[in-house]
Amino acid sequence: MKPNAVTVIIFSILLSGLVVLTPGGTAADGKLIISANTQVADACCQGKRGNVNSAGIIDLGDLSALVSYLTGGGYVLPCVDAANVNGAGIVDLGDLSALVSYLTGGGYVLPDCPVTTVTDIDGNVYQTVTIGTQVWMKENLKVTHYRNGVAIPNVTDGATWAGLTTGAYCEYNNDVNNVSTYGRLYNWYSVADSRNIAPTGWHVPTDAEWQTLVDYLGGSSVAGGKMKEVGYAHWLNPNTGANNESGFSGLPGGYRYSDGTYQSIGGSAYFWSSTEGSSNSAWYRYLHYDYSGVGRLTSDKRLGFSVRCVKGDLVPTIVTVAVSEIAETTAKCGGNITSDGGATVTARGVCWSTNPAPTIANSKTTDGAGIGSFISSIAGLACNTPYYVRAYATNSVGTGYGEAISFTTNECITGTVADIDGNSYQTIKIGNQWWMAANLKVTHYRNGNAIPNITNATTWSGLTTGAYCEYNNDINNVATYGRLYNWYAVADGRNIAPMGWHVPTDAEWQTLVDYLGGDAVAGGKMKEAGTTHWLSPNTGATNESGFSGLPGGYRQQNGTYRDIGYHAYFWSSTENYSNCAWYRGLDYGNSEVYRYGYLEGCGFSVRCVRDY
């Protein structure tokens, strides 16, 4: 009902005493000037122009809002098109005059809001409507091609339809005459197809986007009436609650059942969402002729439902695949991009962190572009550490993420240890033992006392106390082969091993050998591969253990040097008898580890093992 004419006239007279429009926007007679005319730039208007405050009814509230806006009172127009009452393309006093005329019964007829449309790849044109913050197609989809031009199969046979697991469409009752009113029916596989059935810049709404619409219209119990076309031209009687005040213009296009039969035209409208419910179902919304609400359920993806699209692209949809090949500092993961969100995926990969929700601001891989599956190699991790990883995909809208997956890297099998001289050694975990992966070079016992360096052969041959030497008394051999020690240095209580480490016992050497498959094969797994340091053929050398055994040779008890390049000799801390101790040896000509007792005055290489 229009407001009292006298009230509006008085309001207008009061306004005319306060406002004057001058071409240059300068002050005149102390009156407030309107100088900033607003060009119309949006398309949110619904129905008739004039609903300035977007309250759903055209009354004095709209007049008050327009006056506040035009006089600089601070009012912000929620919809410029609606405030452009006379449709002239600019919001000014002409619109105020038109609105006054309408409200006072002066005969002014409000013009319709502009009609906006969207066109699909086939050239079908659809009217659109703004509802709240969303812009919806107000007609059911009719398209027969994906956005890339590939045809969507039209499946008419019921048995064929029932067996589909890929995208398809149909017309209700296979009658093309139903298309102009009700559009086409699509299975969910076509909705989910990454080639996209929506027009460019549009997408099939998610379940959450459907809920946004329903909530804006007052909730599931009443929103259906506001979404249904009025009357019985297409809906069966009684078409309960139908007023179409949203402009959605929902039509009862029925559906195709999973067995290929058609049902419910005139009685029900079914609309897919793009949101999967389970491996064989997806969420949808429905309207009924005898119900004013909106229903929400999941159903078989093979069903044929109507499709409405909503404006705007989404971030990509992506699934994180399981983490595999977890090691100490590396792992593999990846993702499967099932939808590009309507815009090209420009970057994809995985991101990870020790926090439960990693983003691309954290560590990440970059693994190409586009949709589909990919595998990512993760590096730079800390060993024995829990991480979270998830796949990501980025388009022009933003970045979408898959579910975060937690994993823990393996316990470190490599590391370092330093001796008292500051020499650093790589370490390796083999089985349950930690070994140095290089030969000892230390020149001091752990307490800081110097270990004598004996170069003279005669002096060496007479020793019964600890000493070391370099092979051939050449210090250049130390960087590669380490130093050679007599067993007295190994057995000295001042200890030649780094803190927390010790020279292995004979039993600890055997534990290593057994773990690597026994005496006959363990040597090959312990020797550095190739012939850079070992002489050919270096039989069986794979170094798969990481022990990196090198042929440092030895010094005989008489002080002479032998076998560099041919053999590696490693002391144990276990004495064999009064002047002999156990050692392990590797040979260039076979894959074995051999065990002998030998004279304690000889100079052998030393490897250390961790105390725990």
Residue 192 sits in which domain range? 117-311
User: For the chain, how are helix, strand and coil distributed in percent, rounded to 5?
Assistant: 20, 30, 50
Q: Is the pLDDT of residue 79 over 90?
A: no
The answer to whether the beta carbons of residues 236 and 322 sit under 8 Å apart is no
- Neighbouring CB atoms inside 10 A of 596's CB total 12
Least confident of 5-14, 142-151, 353-362, 396-405: 5-14
Tell me which residue has tokens 């693994």: 367
Question: Whole-angstrom Cα distance, residue 243 to residue 258?
Answer: 32
Q: Is the pLDDT of residue 357 over 70?
A: yes
Residue 343 is encoded by which pair of tokens? 């815009």
In a domain, 109, yes or no: no
Give the per-residue pLDDT at 18: 41
In a domain, 447, yes or no: yes
How far is the CA of 31 from the CAs of 13, 76, 200, 514, in angstroms? 14, 22, 50, 102
454 lies in the same domain as 581: yes
Nearest to 606 by CA among 568, 560, 577: 568
Q: Is the pLDDT of residue 90 over 80?
A: yes
Of the residues 389, 408, 427, the one at which a domain ends: 408
Question: Whole-angstrom Cα distance, residue 105 to residue 209?
Answer: 41
The enclosing domain of 404 has a CATH number of: 2.60.40.10
Mean pLDDT for the stretch of residues 330-356:
93
350 lies in the same domain as 423: no
388 lies in the same domain as 301: no
Q: Is the pLDDT of residue 219 over 80?
A: yes
CA dihedral 98, 103, 104, 109 (to 10 degrees): 50
17 against 568, higher pLDDT: 568
* Contact residues for 611 (Cβ-Cβ < 8 A; gap 6+): 500, 501, 502
In a domain, 20, yes or no: yes
Give the per-residue pLDDT at 80: 83
How far is the CA of 601 from the CAs of 41, 53, 85, 443, in angstroms? 97, 102, 109, 17
In a domain, 247, yes or no: yes
Task: Collapse the DSSP code of 145 into the 3-class scheme (helix H, G, I; strand E, B; otherwise coil) and give the result.
Answer: strand
Q: Is the pLDDT of residue 50 over 50?
A: yes
Q: Given pLDDT bands bounded at 50, 70 and 90, which one contains residue 388?
A: very high
Give the per-residue pLDDT at 114: 75
300 lies in the same domain as 371: no
Mean pLDDT for the stretch of residues 77-94:
88
In a domain, 110, yes or no: no
In a domain, 211, yes or no: yes
201 φψ region: left (φ > 0), alpha (ψ -120 to 50), beta (else): left
Of the residues 311, 346, 371, the one at which a domain ends: 311
In a domain, 112, yes or no: no
Of the residues 408, 425, 444, the one at which a domain ends: 408
121 lies in the same domain as 267: yes
Domain total of the chain: 4
In a domain, 111, yes or no: no
Give the per-residue pLDDT at 184: 98
Tell me which residue has tokens 């009436």: 225
229 lies in the same domain as 376: no
Question: Whole-angstrom Cα distance, residue 373 to residue 336?
Answer: 4
Mean pLDDT for the stretch of residues 387-399:
96
Give the per-residue pLDDT at 41: 40
Q: Is the pLDDT of residue 178 over 90?
A: yes
Q: How far apart are the first and last CA of the chain?
A: 90
Task: State residue 417 phi and psi, 5-degree precision.
Answer: -145, 150
400 lies in the same domain as 493: no
Task: State residue 509 phi and psi, 5-degree precision.
Answer: -60, -40
Mean pLDDT for the stretch of residues 43-59:
82
216 lies in the same domain as 345: no
Q: pLDDT, tens digit, for every residue of 407-460?
A: 999 988 888 999 999 999 999 999 999 999 999 999 999 999 999 999 999 999
Mean pLDDT for the stretch of residues 1-13:
49
185 lies in the same domain as 144: yes
Q: What percent of the chain has pLDDT over 90?
A: 81
Q: Is the pLDDT of residue 159 over 70?
A: yes
Statement: the pTM of the whole predicted model exceeds 0.85: no
Question: Whole-angstrom Cα distance, residue 403 to residue 453?
Answer: 62
Question: Whole-angstrom Cα distance, residue 54 to residue 59?
Answer: 11
435 lies in the same domain as 577: yes
Q: pLDDT, tens digit, for every residue of 295-310?
A: 999 999 999 999 999 9
287 lies in the same domain as 346: no
Q: Given pLDDT bands bounded at 50, 70 and 90, which one contains residue 87?
A: confident
Q: Chain-wide mean pLDDT for the chain? A: 91
534 lies in the same domain as 424: yes
